Homo-oligomer: A and B are copies of this chain.
Amino acid sequence: MDTVALAQAVIAGDRRALARAVTLVESARPDHRAAALALGEAMRAAGRQALRIGLTGTPGVGKSTFIEAFGLHLTGQGLRVAVLAVDPSSARTGGSILGDKTRMERLARDPRAFIRPSPSQGALGGVARRTREVLALVEGAGFDVAIVETVGVGQSETLVADLTDLFVLLLAPAGGDELQGVKRGIMERADLILVNKADGALRAEAERARADHASALRLMRPRAEDLGTPPEAICISALTGDGIADAWNRMRDIAGRRQAAGVIRDRRRTQAQAAFVAEFRAGLLAWAEARPELRDALAPAADAVARGLSTPEAAAAGVLARLDPD
């Protein structure tokens, strides 16, 4: 199948075509890259958008159970839902294909859902680059909601917040943010906090945690994109389903408010411009490292720096002097 036919099949809703397109986008082969760019352009021309929801939470907080319950709630309303993951550990260890589908077994079997595990290779930045392109594919394929999930480690949350329209933080009922390993910067990015496991014996504790987070959120500087409305914190139980419908209603409210004010359009524009700069820089570096006159000079220069025979600045300038002047 050529790229044009593949793009048409993706847009027509062919799931196998979508899976093939995602594989192409995640491939590092130069011919695949050219096809991926053409696919991306075809998706852009299709002009479809999903609501992009970023979701983070530390391990053990119940992200999979939540996504399964939340995703089934959406598909139950006739919505088509894609679930993608940006997983730094997977970026290191080589993917979690079985993991992602078995931990959300019912959602994985739902014909209105599409679950795509983390790309199986590459540095975190590279994984995020490809996730951006996969998001465009599922949008072109007509999905209504795209959930980008990440485990709250390192910088992956910031990357996910930068890829999405709204950002949801899932917390456990117990302990402060510090105990849950949630970084302050993430709390500041959250548009909605869901305190999970608000069931059985933990119910009261969850309510206390919710009240604490709600006060903390009210103290934060109001963000322009929310027109003065501070982010909220609510209790849910992914296990019993309590609060799942409420969570979706609040997300729709935030999205609707932002959509009406043009905030989503502006955010996406800013995100696209940042992605352009990042792509340009990454591509430039790849080009330079493939140039024989640089490639052959980089290793000896790095070695001279390591052995203290050259300053980093002079060594870098020496390598760069091999580029054509202009």
Contacts and interface: CB of A to CB of B under 8 A. Distances in A.
A228 to B, nearest CB: 25
Given A41-B311, A285-B284, A314-B37, A272 B305 contact: yes
B279 A313 contact: yes
A227 interface: no
A155 to B, nearest CB: 11
A242 interface: no
Contact of A316 (B276, B316, B320, B324): B276
B136 A311 contact: yes
A324 to B, nearest CB: 7
A202 interface: no
A156 to B, nearest CB: 15
Nearest to A301: B276
A13 interface: no
A291 interface: yes
Contact of A184 (B133, B183, B284, B310): B183
A40 B275 contact: no
A111 interface: no
Nearest to A304: B276
Given A40-B311, A273-B305, A306-B272, A288 B284 contact: yes
A280 B314 CA distance: 10
A37 B317 contact: yes
8 contacts: A37-B311, A272-B311, A277-B302, A283-B316, A283-B320, A284-B285, A284-B320, A287-B320
Given A36-B313, A276-B305, 13 more contacts: A37-B313, A37-B317, A40-B314, A41-B311, A133-B313, A136-B311, A183-B183, A269-B306, A273-B312, A276-B316, A279-B317, A284-B323, A292-B326
